[in-house]
Structure 1
């Protein structure tokens, strides 16, 4: 029965950690996409509203409507500013999550490399033992042959 290598357990844990980090990165990427989409929607809404106001240019607009327009634009601008902050925070989070995932991936690859190196060493040792047995068998056959 082959011995269980503790590195197999380390590899299993490293794989789980990498998968968890990948899922976290995917989640953060989705959040970032939503933030960017929302920011774009707010900017489009502001642009549409400005176009509607521009179309009304030339017609008589009451002072209260004009004031409401500017107040509404300020509210949209505030929402856009808040969304820019949210996008920035999501980008920072994405960067951290990506670095974390890459570190977990690097650790997994290092453990796999160690396991591969150990397997190569075991195979080399097995070939040497097989060669030694073959040489020993050949020398015994040589010495057992009757001399002529």
Structure 2
């Protein structure tokens, strides 16, 4: 009869931790993609607004209108800078999440390797026991056949 793998609770714990790290990494990647999308949207909006300013300057602008355009572009630039910071922070968080996932996965694989080795040893024990039983059966049959041939 095969013995239970003594580290089974640890294997299950590591599987749960790896699953959690995988889910967390997915959330981090999604957040990073969202932050990048917002940055791209702001950059695109800034480019469109700058084009409007160029078009407006060809038609002539008052100082006040020009100042409003420049002020608004300044605010957009500030928002872009803040969003770039958010993207960098998100990238750093994703890198940390990837590293955490790798660590958890490495630990899980190590315990999994031990489990696989345990299973192989147990299977080998079972095979030896079966072979021993077959050998005993064959020996008994041989003895019985030899006795019946003697009669």
TM-score by length of 1: 0.89
Offset, 1:59:
2.3
Change over 3 Å in CA distance of 1:2–1:143 after alignment to 2: closer
Aligned to 1:93: 93
Aligned to 2:76: 76
Matches of 1:34 and 1:142 in 2, distance apart?
Answer: 77
TM-score by length of 2: 0.87
Deviations 1:87-122 (A, max 9, x none): 011011101101111221222222222111111101
Matches of 1:83 and 1:62 in 2, distance apart?
Answer: 31
Give the secondary structure class of the aligned counterpart of 1:99. helix
Equivalences for 1:1-148 in 2 at 5 Å? 3-144=3-144, 145-146=146-147, 148=150
Preserved CA contact (<8 Å) 2:2 2:126 = no
Matches of 1:112 and 1:58 in 2, distance apart?
Answer: 70
Matches of 1:4 and 1:129 in 2, distance apart?
Answer: 17
The alignment covers a number of residue pairs equal to 148
Structure 1 stretches of 5 or more lacking a match? none
Deviations 1:45-80 (A, max 9, x none): 111111111111232311122122112111111111
Offset, 1:132:
2.1
Matches of 1:139 and 1:2 in 2, distance apart?
Answer: 26
Structure 2 stretches of 5 or more lacking a match? none
